[in-house]
Chains A and B, each alone.
Chain A
Amino acid sequence: MDKGMLEFENVAAGYGEREVLKDITLSVGEGEFVGLIGSNGTGKSTLIKCISGLLSVKRGKITVCGRDNAGLKAKERAKLVAVVPQSYHVEYDFTVEDIVMMGRNPYMSLRKREGKEDYEIVEDAMRATNTEMFRERYYNELSGGERQRVILARAIAQKTKVILLDEPTSALDIHHQIEVMELITKLNKEEHMTILAVLHDINMASRFCRRIVMLKDGAVYADGTPKEVITRRNMESLYRMKLMIRQNPLFCKPEIVPIRVMEEEKASVRRHIHMICGANGAGKLLEELDARGYYVTAGVLNQGSTDYDMCQELGIPCVETEPFTPVTEEKQRENLKLMQDADMIVVADVPFGEDNLNNLYGLETMSGKIYFHKNALSNDFTGGGLVRRLEEMAKTKKISYFGDHDEFLEMLRKEETEGAV
């Protein structure tokens, strides 16, 4: 990890007058697996072009394996760095073996033609990428995922220390996306190859890369582990949209959930809506009401439930209780306090049991109108307690029932227009 395989010192580069990279300083050590992220046009691909010699830098210096990149001949560079572009077409009938053999070009000269050693290296590269079975087939007859494996084999045949990947998985289906990423991970772990991959898919980068570099406006904006880089603040500034970061439970890596780019139509009056929720069914409604500009509160939520996470993400004030603990009367009193000024109280699609039936106590004493998600009735584990509670509430207060969240929004809109008249 000590030796820098790729070093950028204040690099600036671009096309014509336009500078895409303004000031890049970055060091990638041996054996690292670095994901390069950034929105469209932030210069990720330009960076790859600068390293691979397609574009010369305007200012600054790039060092590849300790050698000044500007002084390298194409052939020498191709022995140090291999490039895997995004989906790649060839119009001519080259066989898979022909294409992989092209990876040996840097080692060929007028005197030296393909020898036994080269054929062995090509064979190994095809075996490593599981492409040896289509050795004789034409490259342009293969599917996108197979092609990408062949190109990866070609890069392996180059026997370089560094592999650059430019969106290697775009245009592939998820099977082939994961397959390609797993192959790259294997190369990184088993062959100790240094990997720098431009990735569009943040979740893919988070899952596979040990280090993520985020570019913005032609400079390095953030650099660190997935956890350090993939934060809501970074991502929102990168993509200029509303999104959510949560921990993927399977890979224990941060995961991005894009929410919306366009602003929701704002409610005419800012009213207070309180949600009774606490499982995993209210997230969408919470987010949408929040986006429309309502003052949203919620309770009583068990910590760790999806609805709770959503409230944390959106900054919605809520009454919370520890995981898997019943809603006590004390907590419900807190909850009632939070909703006492609410214009509306919405009971979301929550499975009711003895533990959380308390959530419904005292609602009839509140001033807000009560709305109830019909589906909650079909997840009733109270042995009739829920229905009795509703009947009791109905004696003193009207309960409006709704079927899904669109219907509720429709009711809300209707009521607002009527209220306005």
Chain B
Amino acid sequence: MKKINRNRGIFLSVLVCLVIVYVCTVTGIAAISFEDASRILLHEVLHLNVSMEGISEGSILIIKDVRLPRVVLGFLAGASLAVCGAGFQGIFKNPMADPFVLGVSSGAALGAAIGIVFHFGTMLLAFAGAFVTIWLVYSISKVGKKVPVATLLLSGIAVSQTLSAAMSVIMILNKQSMDQIMFWTMGSLNGKGWNQTLMVLPYVLVGMVLLFTSARELDIMLTGEDTAVQLGVNVEFVKKKVLFASTVITAAVISVTGIIGFVGLVVPHMVRMVAGPKHRVLMPMSLLFGGTFLIICDTAARSMATWELPVGIITSLCGGPFFVYLLRKMKRG
């Protein structure tokens, strides 16, 4: 009985998310009517036999090569951050953990800032920055063969603060690039096309496979690391695996989009409250809702005004208060 209910719940959520994704794709400020946009989408993407009468080439281009890749990238980014957040909260057994907690974002931001200042490979430097940071944090925390979680978090905070300071120095020394760097750190999907989307995709896929196959071990680790060892979990290996996979995914995503906050923190929490702590459910549901959540935020970011808001601002604006609401509700419950 319970299982049927859960299956129905999952089915409904998938349906609702699909509808939302569709609606978001066809809404926007460009003067394309809802109906025309729907027709383009149905004809060009789903190859349905829909009349294309009276639709300009430009409109088709906007939907197909601007809006659609943006929605797909948005979904990928949101899904990635949410799943990585779920994984991090799992290995750290800490509800405040998110994919950026070990300084991936600060490392990427520093890399991006250097790239922006020197007009050279911003994306590559961001990606490299993220990796170097995690490697640094990991090496600092390593004690023998083990990596204690508490040390990892603390050294993550320390390294992250140092890198942020370094980035501030770069910004002050290069006032002309300040705006650009600022915007980068707030995250945006603006102007991203199929190229970037396809570039991110393989990293995300590989990382996701690694994360999803750790679900059972992560469940057991939530009940305590010592217990997990006694139940046959290779705890150190799982930690490394999750750290590595999450870093690959997060670095790939934010090197393209910039830092989009709060998705990785709030979404796994929301899902956990509804679907429970088991990663086998938590991770796919986080993927679904994280992706959808970011698309909604991005649609708001590009439709609310004639100019674009960085989507990171929207996610934080929605996510922060929502998180407070959740905390208060949990305290009462």
Instruction: Report how far A82 CA is from B229 CA in the complex, Å.
Output: 11
Q: Judge if A85 is at the interface, Cβ distance under 8 Å.
A: yes
Q: Are A90 and B232 in contact (CB under 8 A)?
A: no
Instruction: Report how far A85 CA is from B229 CA in the complex, Å.
Output: 13
Q: Are A75 and B232 in contact (CB under 8 A)?
A: yes
Q: Are B232 and A52 in contact (CB under 8 A)?
A: no
Among B226, B229, B234, B278, point to the contact of A94 (Cβ < 8 A). Answer: B278
Instruction: Report how far A65 CA is from B259 CA in the complex, Å.
Output: 53
Q: Judge if B213 is at the interface, Cβ distance under 8 Å.
A: yes
Chain A residues whose CB sits within 8 angstroms of the CB of B234 once the complex forms: 73-75
Among B217, B220, B229, point to the contact of A53 (Cβ < 8 A). Answer: B229
Q: Which stretch from A2-10, A35-43, A104-112, A413-421 is at the chain B interface? A: A104-112
* CB-based A-B contact count at 8 angstroms: 68
CB interface residues, A 53-107, toward B, < 8 Å: 53-54, 73-79, 81-83, 85, 88, 90-94, 98-99, 102-103, 105-106
Q: Judge if A136 is at the interface, Cβ distance under 8 Å.
A: yes
CB interface residues, B 14-41, toward A, < 8 Å: none
Q: Are B276 and A93 in contact (CB under 8 A)?
A: yes
Among B213, B219, B232, B278, point to the contact of A78 (Cβ < 8 A). Answer: B232
Q: Judge if B55 is at the interface, Cβ distance under 8 Å.
A: no
Chain B residues whose CB sits within 8 angstroms of the CB of A91 once the complex forms: 93, 222
Interface size on B, residues (CB 8 A): 22
Q: Judge if B231 is at the interface, Cβ distance under 8 Å.
A: yes
Closest to B217 in A: A105
Instruction: Report how far A93 CA is from B277 CA in the complex, Å.
Output: 6
Q: Judge if A158 is at the interface, Cβ distance under 8 Å.
A: yes
Instruction: Report how far A292 CA is from B277 CA in the complex, Å.
Output: 61
Q: Are B232 and A77 in contact (CB under 8 A)?
A: yes
Chain A residues whose CB sits within 8 angstroms of the CB of B220 once the complex forms: 102, 105
A105 and B277 in contact, given A54-B226, A90-B222, A94-B223 (Cβ under 8 angstroms)? no
A92 and B230 in contact, given A102-B223, A136-B2 (Cβ under 8 angstroms)? no
A110 and B213 in contact, given A105-B231, A105-B232 (Cβ under 8 angstroms)? yes
Chain A residues whose CB sits within 8 angstroms of the CB of B229 once the complex forms: 52-54, 74
Instruction: Report how far A76 CA is from B229 CA in the complex, Å.
Output: 11
Q: Judge if B161 is at the interface, Cβ distance under 8 Å.
A: no
Could you say which of B220, B230, B276 has the most chain A C-beta atoms within 10 Å of its C-beta? B230
Chain A residues whose CB sits within 8 angstroms of the CB of B277 once the complex forms: 92-94
Instruction: Report how far A359 CA is from B231 CA in the complex, Å.
Output: 67
Instruction: Report how far A318 CA is from B278 CA in the complex, Å.
Output: 70
CB interface residues, B 208-243, toward A, < 8 Å: 213, 216-217, 219-220, 222-224, 226-227, 229-235
Closest to B145 in A: A56
Among A76, A77, A98, A106, point to the contact of B278 (Cβ < 8 A). Answer: A98
Among B93, B213, B231, B235, point to the contact of A102 (Cβ < 8 A). Answer: B231
In the A-B complex, the 7 residue pairs with the closest CB atoms: A78-B232, A106-B232, A92-B277, A75-B232, A83-B230, A90-B223, A52-B230
List 30 contacting pairs A-B, 8 Å CB cutoff, sorted by A: A54-B226, A54-B230, A73-B234, A74-B233, A74-B234, A74-B235, A77-B232, A82-B230, A85-B227, A88-B227, A90-B222, A91-B93, A91-B222, A92-B222, A92-B277, A94-B219, A94-B223, A94-B277, A94-B278, A98-B219, A98-B278, A99-B223, A102-B219, A102-B220, A102-B223, A105-B231, A105-B232, A105-B233, A106-B231, A108-B216
**Supplied contacts A82-B230, A85-B227, A105-B217, 10 more A-B pairs, CB within 8 Å:** A74-B235, A81-B230, A83-B227, A88-B223, A92-B222, A94-B276, A102-B223, A105-B233, A106-B231, A108-B216
B residues touching A (Cβ–Cβ < 8 Å)? 2, 93, 213, 216-217, 219-220, 222-224, 226-227, 229-235, 276-278
